[in-house]
């Protein structure tokens, strides 16, 4: 069964939608999925008040499955996954802030985890919920087979900006601003489990690295002056295993979305290399045994072959070139 296109490209995204309850908001999210050709989208802050929801959503001409989890009656949080129907997953609710889905593309097992972390200010007052979230995530990663492809998508509410100095392999040098306590915990988790922040690995312009924009334009700075531009931060990330970094082709944020939210859409594009593709890529051309040219009879045979090219008539230029190539590839 053909799961993805012939090149096995997998496009995944993460977006804090700030409610997924209205039909209008759902339609704009669907339009964004189509616009960016996403196979999987993790959404946060759904504000769906039901503990678990599973339903079909038509996106273009293709059916997709929407999974949502939250605390019963909670109008403020919620996290979910929208996955194309042709990628049938095994879905599981882990908590009101985390859900997961496992799927398979030929011989490759993929674990998708969606996360919505508490905001940093609340976590600094009472870190228990945040610590529990990361503790559970770490336990989940430990249980995964080493070769399993892992993608963690979410709004982590964590600023990792200056963390490159302490965690150079996790964040690269394209962070913005300073690292806060949630950002430190995130990077410590990445270091422990050999993960990287995919959307800060590439040298994109700053507007393609920031993921959240403050919803007000005028802001008073510490010296009493006004900012001309709103505050922008990096708090949404797509995490992958360091060992799978070669499969990552690009990752960045996109601000030109239709969905009404103060967050940007974060996307990671993967080139999934299956076992069959690897065999095809490593297939070697047969070697020519040049030592046979030292024999006199083979030299005569080769010269005669070249004469055939010189005196063959009524051939097009392409046919002549093809004949020359065939002769030069003769194996003695």
* Per-residue model confidence as pLDDT tens digits over 77-134: 999 999 999 999 999 999 999 999 999 998 899 999 999 999 999 999 999 999 999 9
CA distance linking residue 93 with residue 100, whole number of Å: 7
Averaged pLDDT, 298-313: 65
> Are 52 and 68 part of one and the same domain?
yes
Averaged pLDDT, 38-64: 96
Count of helix runs (H) and strand runs (E) in the chain: 8, 15
> Are 193 and 314 part of one and the same domain?
no
Which residue intervals of the chain are DSSP H helices? Answer: 23-35, 120-125, 128-143, 168-171, 181-192, 275-281, 296-311, 317-328
> Are 189 and 240 part of one and the same domain?
yes
> Are 203 and 290 part of one and the same domain?
no
Out of 165-169, 216-220, 282-286, give the one with best mean pLDDT: 165-169
Tokens encoding 231: 């505050």
Q: Let me know if residue 3 belongs to a domain.
A: no
> Are 296 and 227 part of one and the same domain?
no
Averaged pLDDT, 324-328: 72
Residue 197 has pLDDT above 70, yes or no: yes
Residue 37 has pLDDT above 50, yes or no: yes
Angle between helices 181-192 and 128-143 (to 10 degrees): 20
Q: Let me know if residue 233 belongs to a domain.
A: yes
For residue 228, name the pLDDT band (cuts at 50, 70, 90).
confident
> Are 276 and 301 part of one and the same domain?
no
Choose the weakest-confidence range: 176-185, 245-254, 286-295: 286-295
CA distance linking residue 180 with residue 157, whole number of Å: 10
> Are 91 and 77 part of one and the same domain?
yes
> Are 291 and 276 part of one and the same domain?
no
Q: Let me know if residue 2 belongs to a domain.
A: no
Q: How many domains does the chain have?
A: 2
Give the range of the structural domain holding residue 298, as residue numbers without chain letter. Answer: 285-328
| 3-state SS, residue 49 | coil
> Are 256 and 299 part of one and the same domain?
no
> Are 233 and 312 part of one and the same domain?
no
> Are 146 and 203 part of one and the same domain?
yes
Residue 136 has pLDDT above 80, yes or no: yes
Q: Let me know if residue 1 belongs to a domain.
A: no
Averaged pLDDT, 220-239: 82
DSSP state of 257: -
CA distance linking residue 25 with residue 57, whole number of Å: 13
> Are 19 and 138 part of one and the same domain?
yes
Tokens encoding 261: 């939210």
């Amino acid at each position: 069964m053909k799961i993805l296109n012939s090149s096995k490209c997998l496009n995944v995204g993460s977006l804090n939608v700030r409610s997924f309850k209205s039909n209008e908001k759902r339609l704009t999210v669907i339009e964004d999925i189509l616009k960016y050709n996403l196979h999987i989208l993790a959404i946060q802050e759904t504000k769906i008040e039901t503990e678990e929801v599973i339903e079909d959503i038509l996106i273009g001409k293709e059916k997709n499955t929407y999974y949502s989890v939250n605390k019963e009656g909670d109008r403020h949080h919620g996290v979910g996954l929208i996955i194309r129907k042709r990628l049938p997953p095994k879905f599981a609710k882990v908590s009101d802030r985390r859900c997961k889905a496992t799927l398979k593309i030929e011989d490759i097992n993929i674990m998708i985890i969606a996360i919505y972390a508490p905001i940093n200010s609340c976590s600094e007052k009472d870190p228990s919920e945040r610590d529990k979230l990361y503790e559970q995530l770490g336990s989940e990663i430990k249980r995964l087979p080493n070769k399993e492809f892992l993608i963690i998508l979410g709004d982590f509410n964590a600023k990792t900006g200056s963390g490159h100095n302490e965690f150079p392999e996790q964040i690269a040098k394209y962070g913005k601003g300073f690292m806060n306590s949630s950002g430190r915990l995130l990077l410590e988790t990445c270091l422990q489990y050999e993960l990287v922040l995919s959307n800060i690995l590439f040298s994109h312009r700053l507007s393609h690295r920031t993921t959240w924009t403050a919803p007000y334009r005028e802001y008073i700075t510490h010296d009493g002056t006004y900012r001309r531009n709103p505050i922008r931060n990096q708090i949404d990330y797509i995490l992958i295993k360091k060992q799978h970094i070669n499969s990552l082709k690009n990752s960045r944020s996109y601000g030109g979305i239709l969905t009404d939210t103060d967050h940007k859409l974060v996307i990671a594009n993967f080139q999934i290399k299956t076992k069959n593709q690897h065999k095809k890529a490593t297939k070697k051309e047969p070697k020519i045994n040049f030592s046979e040219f030292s024999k006199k009879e083979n030299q005569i045979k080769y010269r005669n072959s070249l004469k055939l090219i010189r005196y063959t008539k009524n051939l097009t230029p392409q046919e002549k070139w093809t004949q020359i190539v065939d002769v030069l590839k003769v194996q003695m």
